[in-house]
A and B are shown apart, each in its own frame.
Chain A
């Protein structure tokens, strides 16, 4: 079963517009929610992350909004640029005992920003 659901699968935005990617999760034990950015031929790179005791985190043009009661979080990219064109993955940390656990990823969203 898919523990982290991401939408949309693809997104086309005009330069200067706002890109919004949404994720939903089921497991209330998840306690860390990062977003990764992946360019073709590269591995995913950490973009921004949030913990569930915070409702919003902003870093430059990137903002995570977190709704704990709805078990949803989203990535907003303000003033989207062609260089932002990439695949974005949301993820959730499923911890275990000491030094054990894993990130569970959403299916990914391919963003294209048109000039």
Chain B
């Protein structure tokens, strides 16, 4: 157990729907990062939050949004889902910045049908 908890582990939904992925960072970690992992794109950075504030943004689609709450857990919201959004979504946390080491969760596997 890495200490980073992601729920749900699996999610199957239809095109056009909206889902929310949840991440609880390791105790004491203030930074949360979201990544998308697909077979052809590898691990793609989506967004970073630090202590509740958005700090860095990658190629995150406008249909996707995230937030980090006062208790430091984070949610990634995916809307108007398309078949191509099917992927593994990982959350990682770190105490400060990632050059102190990311800790990844086990991921949420999203299947859009």
Q: Which residues of A contact B (CB under 8 A)?
A: 31-32, 34, 36, 41-46, 49, 89, 93, 95-96, 99-108
Question: B43 to nearest A CB, angstroms?
Answer: 4
Q: Which residue of B lies closest to A96 (CB)?
A: B56
Give per-residue flags for B25-67: 1 if the beta carbon is below 8 A from chain A beta carbons, else 0: 0000011010100000011010010110001101000000000
Closest 8 CB pairs of A and B: A43-B104, A32-B99, A105-B43, A100-B55, A107-B42, A99-B50, A102-B45, A93-B99
Q: Given the known A-B contacts A44-B43, A96-B56, are A101 and B97 also in contact in the complex, defined by CB atoms under 8 Å?
A: yes
Q: Is the CB of A93 within 8 A of B98?
A: yes
How many chain B residues have a CB neighbour from A under 8 Å? 28
Q: Given the known A-B contacts A99-B50, A99-B97, are A106 and B42 also in contact in the complex, defined by CB atoms under 8 Å?
A: yes
Contacting residues, chain A, for B4 (C-beta < 8 A): 43
In the bound assembly, the distance between CA atoms of A31 and B98 in angstroms comes to: 11
